[in-house]
Structure 1
Amino acid sequence: MKFYLCIDDTDSLDSIGTGTIAEQIQEKIIHQGYGPCSLVTRHQLFIHEDIPYTSHNSSMCFYGEVPDNDALTTIINLAAEHLDTVAAVGSDPGLCVLAYDESCHYDELMEFGIQAKQTVLTKADALTCAHNHQLHLSEHGGTGQGIIGALAGVGLRLFGCDGEIKGALKNAAINQTYLVAELKKLPEVEQVLDLTSKETLADTTLISLANRSKTVLYRNQYVLFVRKDDNNQYATLPKAEIRRLGEHFYV
């Protein structure tokens, strides 16, 4: 059984961060003998004065495998307990877990995620959508406002064209040149695409790793976007520019 798990609004400016908490939950799931789990994706949501957030208003999502509903219940309880334990004081944590059914249609859930990038949504909106899809959605402190982002993160991960892979390319050196084939051996890279044309680059194409770049979720794959530099050589994009793509590029 495939499941999606997302958390939101768990941190403060000096806490360990929502992404780290998501990875800690993954570690506990694997310690229980379940998994494997995917990499964590960061989903940027709407920035507005009516939406409380720490610094960027983003949620963190991943998916994994469990054998049955009993195991999924164990994972939900595990994640909830971990949030209750480590979420920062003053935060408004939310947890969303979806038992994925390939025979179901998740258009409403994906649309909720897309709307959460563009407008102010309410807890009532989130609870209605969650009820329609019979998924787990729970508050874990404060106002519980984080359920909105947690639900949105699951919808955006299902959408498959939104989100940064947490962390930079950990096993590649800056200011080095790599073949596409070499980059695709990294767990964070499944495809390397030309930013302008969206074309897949051949395995023999050389890429200059000019900065601590990141991959993004695009068409349900971990994609490294590159473009030609002043020397007509493909080079990676800086993280700040990749983050700006999420404001208009994916959706």
Structure 2
Amino acid sequence: MVPAVVELAARFLERVCPPAADPGLAVAVLPDLPEGSGRRERLVEFGRRAKREVLVTATARTLAAETGVHLSGHGGTQDGVLGALAAVGLHLSGGDGLFLFMPGIREISGDMTAGRLLDLVSIDQVRDHQRQEPTAGELIELGDWVRPVLLDGRAVLLLEPPVIDPDGRRRWRTVPRSVVKNY
């Protein structure tokens, strides 16, 4: 299965990345990285380190080999492997990053009820930072850039706290891009 995924993903990268891009590809099989094995924890730590310090590709390649993660570069400098492996580790942490690609996410915009949004897109939860959630019939002002973040292992669309409209109804709005990009 892994070779087929690698081949498909590599062809995708070659098709969509600009010529000057330096993408990396990391493929991890979750059952091969059980909690407590040390491999998962090492990948998570690598991802966190990559956010704080400059790492070298040799470190990424060694860690990938030791943890059984496929890692390949598809550009000139091969530096893309650093980000690819860091992304695996950050995803495994369950609480870092945003979803750029998700079926249906790029087709939604404007105002929509929470219920309709959850019917259309595979978002696990819609809430604000205090964990308040809109009811199914409450309107959310989505804007034109809807990107859930990974929190507690779930795809969560973050909202600003609700405001009360002149009719006494709660209205919600997605948090600004600047907030989402910091996850």
Q: TM-score range by the shorter chain?
A: 0.7 to 0.9
- Which AA in structure 1 matches 2:179? E
Deviates most, 134-143 or 230-239: 230-239
1:191 aligns with 2:121: no
Q: Indicate how the Cα distance of structure 1 residues 203 and 233 shifts in structure 2: closer, same or farther if over 3 A, else same.
A: closer
Identity %, equivalent residues: 30
Distance (whole Å) between structure 2 residues aligned to residue 209 and residue 169 of structure 1: 14
Q: Which one-letter code corresponds to 1:203 in the other structure?
A: T
**What is the CA distance between 1:159 and its match in structure 2?**
1.5
Give TM-score scaled by structure 1 length: 0.59
Structure 1 residue 218 corresponds to structure 2 residue 148 = no
Match for 2:135 among 200, 203, 219?
203
Is the contact between residue 189 and residue 215 of structure 1 (CA under 8 Å) also seen in structure 2? yes
Aligned with residue 164 of structure 1, among 95, 98, 101: 98
RMSD over equivalenced CA pairs, Å: 2.6
Q: Decide whether aligned partners of structure 1 residues 202 and 92 sit closer, same or farther in structure 2, where only a CA change above 3 A counts.
A: closer
SS at match of 2:150: strand
- Structure 1 residues 81, 191: closer, same or farther in 2, change over 3 A? closer
Bigger helix share: 2
Q: How many residues align?
A: 171
* Contact preservation (8 Å) 1:211, 1:238: no
- Paired amino acid for 1:219: D
- For 1:73-107, what per-residue CA distance to the aligned partner results, in whole angstroms no more than 9, with x for missing partners? 12223333444565432332321111221662301
Aligned to 1:93: 23
Give 3-state SS (helix, strand or coil) of 2:143's partner: coil
Mapped partners of 2:78, 2:10: distance in 1: 13
TM-score by length of 2: 0.78
Q: Which moved more, 1:109-118 or 1:160-169?
A: 160-169
* Deviation string, structure 1 residues 183-224 (Cα, Å, up to 9, x no partner): 2212242211222x2x25253462431522321111121111
List gaps (5 residues or longer) in structure 2.
165-169
Q: Give unmatched runs, 5+ long, in structure 1.
A: 1-70, 247-251
Q: Residue type matched to 1:121 in 2?
A: L
- 1:137 alignment partner, SS class: strand
SS in 2 for 1:141: coil
